[in-house]
Chain A
Amino acid sequence: MASLTLKNIGKRFGKVVALSGVDLHVEDGEFCVLLGPSGCGKSTLLNVIAGLVPQDRGTVELDSHSVDRLAPRDRDVAMVFQSYALYPHMTVAKNLGFGLRMRGVPKTTIREKVLDTASLLGIDGLLNRKPRELSGGQRQRVAMGRALVRRPKLFLLDEPLSNLDARLRANVRLELKQLHSRLKTTIVYVTHDQVEAMTLGEKVVVMRDGAVRQTGRPETIYSFPADTFVATFIGSPEMNLYRGMILHNGEHSVFQGRGFSMDIGDLRLNPMEGEVDVGFRPEDVKIVEAGTGKLHARVEMISDVGSEKYIHTRIGQEHLTLRATKYASFQPDEIIDLAIDAARLHIFQKGVRVN
Chain B
Amino acid sequence: MGILFFVFIVAFPFYWMIVSSLRPLEEILMNPANLGLDIHKIDLSAYYDVLFDHGFVRYILNSLYVSIITAALSVALSTVGGYAVTRLRFRGQSFMSYSILIIYMFPAIVLVIPLYVIFSHMGLRDSINVLILVYLAQTLPVALYMLRSYFKTLPLEMENAGLIDGCTRFGVIWRIIIPLSAPALASVALYTFMIAWNEFLFAFMFLDTPDKFTLSRGVVQMAGSIHLSKQLVMAASVLITLPILFLFLFFERYLVRGMTSGAMKG
A residues in contact (CB < 8 Å) with B? 47, 50-52, 71-73, 77-79, 81-89, 98-99, 102-103, 130-134, 136, 139, 146, 163
Mark B155-186 against chain A: 1 for CB-CB distance below 8 A, else 0. 10110111111111001000010011000000
Q: A79-B160, A85-B160 are in contact. Are A163 and B262 (CB under 8 A)?
A: no
Whose C-beta in chain B lies nearest to the C-beta of A47? B160
Whether B168 and A73, one on each chain, are in contact in the complex, defined by CB atoms closer than 8 angstroms, is yes
Whose C-beta in chain B lies nearest to the C-beta of A147? B164
Q: Does B110 contact A (CB under 8 A)?
A: no
Give complex CA distance A146, B166 in Å: 12
Whether B259 and A89, one on each chain, are in contact in the complex, defined by CB atoms closer than 8 angstroms, is yes
Mark B33-49 against chain A: 1 for CB-CB distance below 8 A, else 0. 00000000000000000
Whether B165 and A102, one on each chain, are in contact in the complex, defined by CB atoms closer than 8 angstroms, is yes
User: Which residues of chain B are within 8 angstroms of A72 by Cβ–Cβ distance?
Assistant: 160, 163-164
Give complex CA distance A103, B265 in Å: 27
Nearest CB in chain A: distance from B185 CB, A:
13
Q: List 18 additional A-B contacts (Cβ < 8 Å) besides A77-B164, A85-B264, A87-B162.
A: A52-B163, A71-B168, A72-B163, A72-B164, A81-B161, A82-B265, A84-B265, A85-B157, A85-B158, A85-B161, A86-B158, A87-B158, A87-B161, A88-B259, A98-B162, A99-B165, A131-B262, A136-B266
For this complex, 30 residue pairs linking A to B, each with C-beta atoms less than 8 Å apart, are A47-B160, A50-B160, A50-B164, A51-B163, A52-B163, A71-B168, A72-B164, A73-B163, A73-B165, A78-B164, A78-B165, A79-B164, A81-B157, A81-B160, A83-B157, A85-B263, A86-B161, A87-B176, A88-B259, A88-B260, A88-B263, A89-B179, A99-B164, A99-B165, A102-B165, A102-B171, A131-B262, A133-B262, A146-B165, A163-B265
Give complex CA distance A51, B155 in Å: 18
Whether B261 and A132, one on each chain, are in contact in the complex, defined by CB atoms closer than 8 angstroms, is yes
Task: Tell me which residues from 124 to 183 in chain B have a Cβ below 8 Å from any Cβ of chain A.
Answer: 155, 157-158, 160-168, 171, 176, 179-180
User: Which residues of chain B are within 8 angstroms of A131 by Cβ–Cβ distance?
Assistant: 262-263
Instruction: Tell me the count of chain B residues lying within 8 A, CB to CB, of chain A.
Output: 24
User: Which residues of chain B are within 8 angstroms of A103 by Cβ–Cβ distance?
Assistant: 166
Whose C-beta in chain A lies nearest to the C-beta of B157? A85
Q: A88-B259, A102-B171 are in contact. Are A83 and B264 (CB under 8 A)?
A: yes
Give complex CA distance A98, B165 in Å: 7
Whether B262 and A130, one on each chain, are in contact in the complex, defined by CB atoms closer than 8 angstroms, is yes
Give complex CA distance A71, B155 in Å: 20
Whose C-beta in chain B lies nearest to the C-beta of A152? B164
Whether A73 and B164, one on each chain, are in contact in the complex, defined by CB atoms closer than 8 angstroms, is yes
Nearest CB in chain B: distance from A121 CB, A:
17
Whether A99 and B261, one on each chain, are in contact in the complex, defined by CB atoms closer than 8 angstroms, is no
Give 5 closest A-B pairs by Cβ, nearest first: A132-B262, A102-B166, A131-B262, A99-B165, A85-B157
User: Which residues of chain A are within 8 angstroms of B265 by Cβ–Cβ distance?
Assistant: 82-84, 136, 139, 163
Nearest CB in chain B: distance from A166 CB, A:
15
